[in-house]
Amino acid sequence: MSAFRAFWIEKADDAFARSIISRDVDELPAGDLLVEVRYSSLNYKDGLSATGQPGVTRNYPHTPGIDAAGVVLESSVDAFGPGDEVVAIGFDLGMNTPGGFGQRIRIPAGWATPLPTGLSLEQSMILGTAGFTAALSVDKLETFGMTPSGGPVLVTGATGGVGSVAVMLLSQLGYTVHAVTGKAHQHGFLRDIGATEIVDREAALDGANRPLLRETWGGVVDTVGGDILFNAVKSLRYGASLAACGLVASPMIPATVLPFILRHVNLLGIDSVELPIERKTALWRKLGGDWKIDGLDTLKRPMRLEELSAGIDRILAGEMVGRGVLQLDD
């Protein structure tokens, strides 16, 4: 089959129209691997691409989808052959290269990871970029000394993609997890996936005008930025770290140097996009092995191409809970 279905964003003046179209594989860019995409997932960045927000997609029309999991149909390299199951996240996929919201992608071999033992294609997309980023954050925090005995760990944007996987993973690794949420009706969900305490988003904003707050957290996974991020930095225990990976509240940080020079704390940067493929592959293996998350299916919110547009509106409104998993077979 050379024709395939794809989600399609077209720009007309300043409006971005969404549709589902039929494309031909000959229209895809050159690349080492032609992949039949079986699953993708919905990430916040896909919402930004679908609505023409600056800094994501330069040229339209375009098919978003920064995640894809599927089967190699054609390969021009020795490392992969037809029939191999692969996962691709980040790099330029879904940014300016047609992404996982289509049934076919053509990509450089250097963007692909063999599907790790222990995960199905669908499970790899329940994780997707969001889950991978949660794991990357926990991995870096542990590299900087975070341990379960070092105090509770705070996760912000906790019902979202990165947040919900972070809560589950940390809880499974033996951490006491406190979860910040703006969704009063999702406290039960957060407790079910492993949070022991829930912090209302408004409470997480308290104290923004104070230079330091009570030492509380042994680590923080922050997905939101802004005042919540820096309040969390001001509440880190001596020598502890915050992993900053998101900006749904704000890309700004209202910072002073005080927590850094008085409490020896660390602000750690997290980037899943350009992380070298060797490191991506190693962390994917861990997610299929030692860090395989029990009950991951709890986070799955299945969707088809026809439901994607509504999902995009939900994720941009901050209303998503768990992970939107797109199934692409006909």
Site residues for ligand NAP, 30-49, by CB under 6 A, read 43-45
Q: Quick check: 159 binds ligand NAP (CB under 6 A)?
A: yes
CB of 286 to ligand NAP, least distance (A): 17
User: Considering the rule CB under 6 A, would residue 280 count as an interface residue with ligand NAP?
Assistant: no
Tell me the pairing of strands 33-42 and 104-107. antiparallel
Q: How far is CA 288 from the centre of its chain?
A: 17
- The residue number whose beta carbon is nearest to ligand NAP equals 160
Q: Which of 10, 206, 271, 278 touches ligand NAP by CB under 6 A? A: 271
Fill in the amino acid letter for 254. Answer: P
Q: What are the residue ranges of helices labelled H in the chain?
A: 44-50, 121-143, 161-172, 187-192, 201-205, 226-234, 258-263, 277-288, 308-316
**Of 71, 215, 318, 327, the one binding ligand NAP by CB under 6 A:** 318
Our finding on whether 178 is near ligand NAP (CB under 6 A) is: no
Report the residue from 68, 88, 126, 158 that binds ligand NAP according to the rule CB under 6 A: 158
Stretch of 68-76, 77-85, 220-228, 229-237 lying at the interface with ligand NAP (CB under 6 A): 220-228
Instruction: Count other Cβ atoms within 10 Å, centred on residue 33.
Output: 26
- Reduced to 3 states (helix: H, G, I; strand: E, B; else coil), residue 177 is strand
Please report, for residues 176, 228, 276, the alpha-carbon distance to residue 248 in angstroms, rounded to integers and kept in the order given. Answer: 24, 11, 25
Check binding of 246 to ligand NAP (CB under 6 A): yes
Structure tokens at 124: 């790899």
Q: Which residues of the chain form contacts with ligand NAP (CB under 6 A)?
A: 43-45, 129-130, 133, 157-163, 181-183, 201, 223-224, 228, 245-249, 270-273, 315, 318, 320
